[in-house]
Amino acid sequence: MDDGAERIFAALRDVSQSGAPLYLQLKKNIEEAVKRGLIGPGDALPSERDIAAQADISRVTVRKAVQDLVKSGVLVQRHGSGTFVAPRMERVEQSLSRLTSFTEDMARRGMAARSQWLDRGIYTASPDEMMVLGLSASELVSRLSRLRIADETPLAIERATISASVLPDPHEVTSSLYMALGKTGHRPVRAVQRISAVNLGEAEAQLLAVPIGSACLQIERISYLASGKVIEFTKSIYRGDAYDFVAELRLPGPDGQEGEAT
Ligand code: 16G
Q: Pocket of ligand 1, candidates 141, 177, 179, 244: which has the most ligand atoms within 8 Å of its Cβ, to mutate?
A: 177
Residue type, 183: K
How many Cβ atoms from other residues are within 10 Å of residue 159's Cβ? 15
Pick the CATH number of 92-246 from 3.40.190.10, 3.40.1410.10, 1.10.10.10, 3.30.420.140: 3.40.1410.10
The pLDDT mean for the chain works out to 87
Domain 3-85 belongs in CATH node 1.10.10.10: yes
Minimum CA distance residue for ligand 1 atom 8:
219
Confidence of residue 89 (pLDDT cuts 50, 70, 90): low
Q: Is the model's pLDDT at 105 over the cut of 70? A: yes
* Closest atom, ligand 1, to C-alpha of 180: 17
Any atom of ligand 1 within 6 Å of the Cβ of 143: no
Q: Is the model's pLDDT at 261 over the cut of 60? A: no
First to last CA, the chain: 60
Any atom of ligand 1 within 6 Å of the Cβ of 101: yes
Q: Between these two residues, 49 and 1, which has the higher pLDDT value? A: 49
Q: Which residues pair with 245 in a beta bridge?
A: 94
- pLDDT per residue as tens digits for the range 37-63: 788 878 888 888 988 888 888 999 999
Query: How many Å lie between the centroid of ligand 1 and the Cα of residue 130?
Result: 20
How much of the chain exceeds pLDDT 70, in percent?
90
Please give the Cα distance from 215 to 177 (Å, whole number).
27
- pLDDT per residue as tens digits for the range 117-172: 999 999 999 999 999 999 999 999 999 999 999 888 899 999 999 999 999 999 99
- pLDDT per residue as tens digits for the range 19-37: 788 888 888 888 888 877 7
The two domains 3-85 and 92-246 share their CATH topology (first three levels equal):
no
pLDDT of residue 189: 96
pLDDT of residue 6: 66
Q: Between these two residues, 256 and 93, which has the higher pLDDT value? A: 93
Average of per-residue pLDDT across 215-242: 95
Contacts of residue 139, defined as CB under 8 A and 6 or more positions apart, other chains included, come to 124, 125, 130, 163, 164, 165
pLDDT of residue 13: 62
Confidence of residue 81 (pLDDT cuts 50, 70, 90): confident
Please give the Cα distance from 103 to 100 (Å, whole number).
8
Q: What is the domain partition of the chain in residue ranges?
A: 3-85, 92-246
Q: Is the model's pLDDT at 262 over the cut of 50? A: no
For helices 59-71 and 22-35, angle between their N-to-C axes, nearest 10 degrees: 50
* Closest atom, ligand 1, to C-alpha of 191: 11
Any atom of ligand 1 within 6 Å of the Cβ of 102: yes
Query: How many Å lie between the centroid of ligand 1 and the Cα of residue 233?
Result: 10
Average of per-residue pLDDT across 210-222: 93
Element of type H or E holding 205: helix 202-208
Minimum CA distance residue for ligand 1 atom 6:
101
Q: Is the model's pLDDT at 216 over the cut of 70? A: yes
